[in-house]
Amino acid sequence: MKERKKNTPYQNKLKAVDFFCSGGGMSYGMQEAGIKILAGIDFDINCKATYEANIKNAEFIHVDVFDLKEKELEEKLALNKNDDQLILIGCSPCQFWSIINTDKTKSTKSKNLLKEFMRFVEYFNPGYVVVENVPGVLRKKEESGLDEFIYWLQSNEYKVHFDVHEVSEYGVPQHRKRFTLIANRTTLHEIIPLTAKGKKVTVRDSIGEHNGFPKVLHGNKDESDFLHIVAGLQKINLDRLAITPKDGGTRLAYVNNAELAPKCHKGKTDGFKDVYGRMWWDKPSPTITTKFYSLSNGRFGHPEEDRAISLREGAVLQSFPTDYVFKATSIANAARMIGNAVPPKYATAIGKAIIQNHNNAV
């Protein structure tokens, strides 16, 4: 079972403030790279206990960014303007810009979060700026405020990198495409996340009995911090899994079965095949969403066991260490923190690239 490394000593004076920090995926990854986290900011009080349990010596600031004033943050954290060693991170909730077909009503307010984050970048003029979001924000550059943000950065002598990256290239055992912007005004170099060496990390490298995950049944409860908790299944879903081939099987195993095939899938061999499917052992997992504990929401079936993956398995596939503590009141609450997180190892790849750039500048 893999555990986190000892706290990385800070070999530089870089420090960061993590806006929209949620449960701390970005903060933890940056901290592992060697960057000091001053604070995480989020309006969701449910994230506070998880953030504080894992991001040591950082303050959790519970506030809606729409209500937070620049001067207030400056005084609270004793920040300085034009600080070359300051990193401002903005990984705003991204449901509004997601390509996933969901009701956007509740997330409409979140579409303006990038513009709110920009207020603080303009005020503090930090050495570095990081933004991470869904690729959809790039396709809607004008509406999301990204065009205006990039224009301001470039007009104020920041060297800006922005692109869509596949996180499995950075040591994360998961296929997940993310828009990433890294801007710096300390050098003329474009900062790009540092890719991992060697083969991609797979599901087999991450979960299973050989990695400390005992075999369990659907509906498994776990009151320990390990959270090997599995959602329960109805009999029909157990019957479907029973005939779904191990290691990557799909609903096609029962597409013509009058009793087992859902009405919308009956007899259909084209279209979306991931629903009710199993993960492959020797590939990175599919994207871990906020519904990864549910078979009906994607290819979230265990490669071998007749169940969906557990909360801890989802977290590990997001590249959280096995001893990362999630303080949640329900499966859905924990899964939302895990699925919405920036994969920590991807955050580390960003952090190391910033450190490398900064060390070359001094």
- The domain spans of the chain are 15-199+342-361
Q: At residue 23, does pLDDT exceed 80?
A: yes
- Residue 339 contacts residue 20 (beta carbons within 8 Å): no
How far apart CA 124 and CA 16 sit, in angstroms, is 12
SS3 assignment for the chain: CCCCCCCCCCCCCCEEEEECCCCCHHHHHHHHHCCEEEEEEECCHHHHHHHHHHCCCCEEEECCHHHCCHHHHHHHHCCCCCCCCEEEEECCCCHHHCCCCCCCCCCHHHHHHHHHHHHHHHHHCCCEEEEEECCHHHHCHHHHCHHHHHHHHHHCCCEEEEEEEEHHHHCCCECCEEEEEEEECCCCCCCCCCCCCCCCCCCCCCCCHHHCCCCCCCCCCCCCCCCCCCCCCCHHHHHHHHCCCCCCCCHHHHCCCCCCCCCCCCCCCCCCCCCCCECCCCCCECCCCCCCCCHHHCCCECCCCCCECCHHHHHHHCCCCCCCCCCCCCHHHHHHHHHHCCCHHHHHHHHHHHHHHHHHHC
pLDDT of residue 7: 45
**46 Cβ neighbours under 8 A, 6+ residues apart:** 328, 329, 333, 337
Handedness of CA 201, 203, 209, 211 (dihedral sign): positive
pLDDT tens digit sequence for 191-240: 999 999 999 999 999 999 999 999 999 999 999 999 999 999 999 999 99
pLDDT tens digit sequence for 238-289: 999 999 999 999 999 998 998 998 877 676 667 677 889 999 999 999 999 9
Which of 21, 91, 94, 264 is an active site residue?
A: 94
Over residues 32-41, the mean pLDDT reads: 98
More confident of the two residues 360 and 122: 122
Q: At residue 138, does pLDDT exceed 70?
A: yes
pLDDT of residue 100: 43
Return the structure tokens found at 300.
Answer: 């979230």
pLDDT of residue 104: 41
Q: Fold for domain 15-199+342-361?
A: Rossmann fold (3.40.50)
More confident of the two residues 360 and 38: 38
Q: Is 21 a catalytic residue?
A: no
